[in-house]
Structure 1
Amino acid sequence: MAPIIHCVRHAQGYHNLSVANHSMPDPSLTPFGEEQCRHLAQNFPHHKSVDLLVASPLRRTIFTTLHGFTPVIERGVPIIALPEAQETADVPCDTGTDITVLKEEMKGKPVDLSRVPEGWNNKAGRWAPTASALEKRAREARQWLKARPEKEIVLVTHGGFLHYFTEDWTDYKDALGTGWMNVECRSYLFADEDGDNATIVETEISREARRGTEKPLTRTEQMELRETATKTWEEGGYHPIQAKV
């Protein structure tokens, strides 16, 4: 049976503070972001049932996982860095650290970097900030997670990437980026289909907790909204979701 996926946006990073900070390479968490992680560690409702932690290999997502899911880590649950879940744009704050440096920084920490290849942060080829490349690696991330044997998985990633991963565009914010708040969590199930897309749907409990009983958009409506979002970002001078999220 495919796992439940609890998607979490990272805590506040230094790039979230100002436009000037978008030039910071792979920024880490602010003190307030660290406080958000402590709150997450105290209040996330699924700590006892999660049996795998997965994070984008950028610093802000790794440290959100390390600090926000300490009750899970203390049970011996590993953190696997998933390069497919890195952020969408090619600006410095969304570009990861070279793997040799990252391995040294994470030495002694329960972070498995074995899936992160050399060149994962080049933002070219499969890692390019284009809609087609982003859709492909979001699908690859879903396929990898769907094939995992665990029953409940936390994925800590980025607001921009989450739109591609969930294929949910209902709360995009024009050229500003994402509607996902820092450390916001939404839970998803894989759809009852065996297609290569590995489609996920938000659980009713998760959706109603943030949107009430509002009827979800159909897949066709979501794709129409995706086209609107992409066009809006591009007309605003952004790559697909190049807003700082």
Structure 2
Amino acid sequence: MVKATEKRIYLTRHAQAEHNVAEDYSILDAPLTQLGRQQSAALLEATKDTIQKTAELIVTSAMRRPLSTMVIGYAELRKRLEAEGKSVVVLPQLQECNDFPCDKGSPREELEANPEYAGLDFSLLTPDWTSKQGFYASDTASLEARARWNRKWLRERPEKEIVLIAHGDCLRYITEGENTHKPWANAEVREYTFKCEAEEDKEGEAWMVPVTVVAKEGADEPTSSEGAN
């Protein structure tokens, strides 16, 4: 069993998406821009000889912009892992935080019909994953609880090195427990580990601590919580 403090979690914000540029948060499940696709390709070049050769799992938000970032930006890692029988984990709990159309996911059947996502397993997407209610609600308490769930999920995984692709606000909640609005660039990768082992975690928060910045291929585009205020 890998110690939590020896794990390496490579948190990645998706590349530039349409709502980042236009600050138009009415775009449902906003996709990448052409520049975002170029940033994803640059991410592949920046990491193909490092973490893509060593990571043991890919986990991604089920929204279109992180999915496309993963397909392009982590193509080498995905190819290697799938050859080893390890599928990408598409995790609805990593969806973006706010209750704007741009932060709501697409129905499972639409994602499965998209040729760009061919071969991905969307079986974890329950019908309520796009609801922004209950576990997926956008109030602070729900976001804190979901971030805690994500941290514990990562800590309990058997892999030592995990690549995760998600969203700016989601990553802030995961790493800091709240939306601090501190910058996260598009197609930025930051390496984290866990503050302590599970048995030492008296609060049950599974806090993470930063190690280093691995790559940064885009600019600090605003999330919906910043641009809408």
TM-score category (smaller protein) = 0.7 to 0.9
Partner secondary structure for residue 90 of structure 1: coil
Q: How big is each residue's C-alpha offset from its partner over 1:169-206, in whole Å with a ceiling of 9 and x where there is no partner?
A: 7x944xxxx51000111111112232221111111x44
Partner secondary structure for residue 61 of structure 1: helix
- Aligned residue number for residue 77 of structure 2: 72
- Aligned residue number for residue 42 of structure 1: 45
Q: How big is each residue's C-alpha offset from its partner over 1:115-142, in whole Å with a ceiling of 9 and x where there is no partner?
A: 2211101001111111100010111111
**Residues 79 and 110 of structure 1 are in contact (CA less than 8 Å); yes or no, is this contact kept in structure 2?**
no
Which one-letter code corresponds to 1:16 in the other structure?
Answer: N
**Residues 15 and 244 of structure 1 are in contact (CA less than 8 Å); yes or no, is this contact kept in structure 2?**
no
Judge which range, 45-54 or 4-13, deviates more: 45-54
Which one-letter code corresponds to 2:93 in the other structure?
Answer: E
Structure 1 position 96, deviation (Å): 0.4
Divergent runs of 4+, >6 A: none
Partner secondary structure for residue 51 of structure 2: coil
Match of 1:81 among 90, 105, 126: 90
Residue 123 in 1 paired to residue 123 in 2?
no
Structure 1 position 168, deviation (Å): 6.5
Match of 1:157 among 154, 166, 185: 166
Give the distance between the partners of 1:107 and 1:13, measured in 2 at CA.
16
- Aligned residue number for residue 24 of structure 1: 27
Give the distance between the partners of 1:98 and 1:57, measured in 2 at CA.
10
Task: Give aligned-pair identity as a percent.
Answer: 35
Which one-letter code corresponds to 2:207 in the other structure?
Answer: T
- Aligned residue number for residue 59 of structure 2: 54
Which one-letter code corresponds to 2:206 in the other structure?
Answer: A
Residue 201 in 1 paired to residue 188 in 2?
no
Cα separation, partners in 2 of 1:9 and 1:42, compared to 1, 3 Å: same
Partner secondary structure for residue 165 of structure 2: strand
**Residues 55 and 156 of structure 1 are in contact (CA less than 8 Å); yes or no, is this contact kept in structure 2?**
yes
TM-score normalised according to structure 2 size? 0.83
Which one-letter code corresponds to 2:57 in the other structure?
Answer: L
Which one-letter code corresponds to 1:201 in the other structure?
Answer: V
Q: How big is each residue's C-alpha offset from its partner over 1:61-113, in whole Å with a ceiling of 9 and x where there is no partner?
A: 01100100011012134311111111000100000001222222268624222
Partner secondary structure for residue 193 of structure 2: strand
**Residues 112 and 118 of structure 2 are in contact (CA less than 8 Å); yes or no, is this contact kept in structure 1?**
no
Judge which range, 189-198 or 67-76, deviates more: 189-198
Higher relative contact order (CA 8 A, sep 6+): 2
Give the distance between the partners of 1:4 and 1:82, measured in 2 at CA.
19
Aligned length: 208
**C-alpha RMSD over aligned residues:** 2.4
Cα separation, partners in 2 of 1:92 and 1:185, compared to 1, 3 Å: same
**Residues 9 and 156 of structure 1 are in contact (CA less than 8 Å); yes or no, is this contact kept in structure 2?**
yes
Residue 242 in 1 paired to residue 225 in 2?
yes
